[in-house]
Amino acid sequence: METSVARKVADQTANDFLPLHGTDYVEFYVGNAKQAAHFYKTAFGFQSVAYAGPETGVKDKASYVISQNKLTFVLTTPLKTNNPIADHIYKHGDGVKVLALRVDDATDAWHQTTKRGGKSYLEPVTLKDNDGEVVLSGIHTYGDTVHIFVERKNYKGAFMPGYVKWNSTYNPASTGLLYVDHCVGNVGWNQMNPWVKFYEDVLGFKNILSFDDNDISTEYSALMSKVMSNGNGFVKFPINEPAEGKKKSQVEEYLDFYDGEGVQHVAIATNNIIETVTDLQNRGVEFLKIPPSYYETVLDRVGKIDEDLKPLSELGILIDRDEEGYLLQIFSKPLEDRPTLFFEIIQRKGAKSFGKGNFKALFEALEREQDLRGNL
């Protein structure tokens, strides 16, 4: 018997002009892709997947593909100056260039989104090799960031044509990272609503949650945020903009140092955040420190949880609850010298929200770091 909920989901899917199967990969433009690949393998437990560069006939860049469960990163560096990748790194430092989305039909995705006002980045192109074919297309989003639509249903190779399988004898153990839960964009003053409209109009996303500066403010800094989700909920993009506070907000600091709009954080799911974060910390990954006082009252706010509080407090893992369950989350320090991109590690136990109850503790922790950098 069909329930009304099932019918609603079916209707949404039927009306979805851009059905998405989730994040295909995240591509970073970095100053040294060889070293970045080693860092993500060693510190985060990624495995070598594929490589493209001069040895494979690519003259102007080198790309290393690494993965862990359903999480795929591409690390790309330019080989010469006077190259758009080099320009991107000169302006932004290391950062996310591509949020790639898996689709059944990349040609249709391009037509559907560009006819709704999306600015083309890549016209549909079919790449072929002995393992089959991949169709790519792409549109621009905020800043210099782009979405690539990836159609790979007819491909069985390591990554995509143009890449060779990367066999490495160095294979650090996984840290239990599973897939991209959400990716957050920081946009400029008064730019949140135009980008919300972009995701609604061009990609058919819905605004599922909003936070204003009353939700997200500390003594000093404030921001506003709206969470955009596609129809099946596999792809979620919160969009932040700065709000007026006593001092410079964390979003402003990002915009200053990234020199424009871009991806603020990639949130990665795990099924066991205590094990994952213990492992990451042992491998040298640094996280924001949360004051012990947070743990004195947190259970009054969130109620009973399955985990012991002691390891959560030792690791600095935050807890929040919504109507559907609770979540555990932690935020890394920036992954590069500029205070720009960082990672969130998240374990959802029913909750579908984003940790609103932690914003104050989190932002105070961020401000302490900002203050150390002299940017508060």
Least distance (Å) from Fe ion to the CB of residue 199? 16
Q: Are 238 and 360 in contact (CB under 8 A)?
A: no
Window contacting Fe ion (CB under 5 A); options: 71-79, 96-104, 259-267, 282-290: 259-267
Q: Kindly tell me which of 267 and 365 has the beta carbon lying closer to Fe ion.
A: 267
By beta-carbon proximity to Fe ion, the closer residue of 158 and 208 is 208
Closer by beta carbon to Fe ion, 154 or else 210? 210
Instruction: Quote the strand ranges of the chain, DSSP E.
Output: 23-29, 47-52, 61-68, 71-78, 95-102, 120-129, 132-140, 146-151, 164-165, 177-186, 206-211, 222-229, 236-243, 262-270, 318-322, 325-331, 342-349
Closest CB 184 distance from Fe ion, rounded Å: 5
- Alpha-carbon distance 202 to 158, whole Å? 31
Q: Which of 267, 280, 285, 302 binds Fe ion (CB under 5 A)?
A: 267
Give yes or no for residue 320 binding Fe ion (CB under 5 A): no
Residue 177 found at the interface with Fe ion (CB under 5 A):
no
Contact between 344 and Fe ion (CB under 5 A)?
A: yes
CB of 166 to Fe ion, least distance (A): 30
Q: Please, what is the minimum distance in Å from the beta carbon of residue 243 to Fe ion?
A: 18
DSSP at 27: E
Binding window for Fe ion (CB under 5 A); candidates: 2-10, 203-211, 214-222, 341-349: 341-349
N-terminal to C-terminal alpha carbon distance within the chain: 57
Contact 52, 60 (CB under 8 A): no
Cβ neighbours for 119, distance < 8 A, ≥ 6 positions apart? 139, 140
The CA distances from residue 2 to 7, 11, 12, 169, 268, in Å, are 7, 12, 15, 51, 33
Stretch that binds Fe ion, among 54-62, 214-222, 261-269, 313-321 (CB under 5 A): 261-269
Tell me the HSE value of 107 on the side-chain side, using a 13 A CA sphere: 5
How many residues form the binding site for Fe ion (CB under 5 A)?
2
Q: How far is the CB of 16 from Fe ion (least distance, A)?
A: 24
Binding to Fe ion in span 199-218, by CB under 5 A: none
Q: How far is the CB of 250 from Fe ion (least distance, A)?
A: 13
Residues that bind Fe ion (CB under 5 A): 267, 344
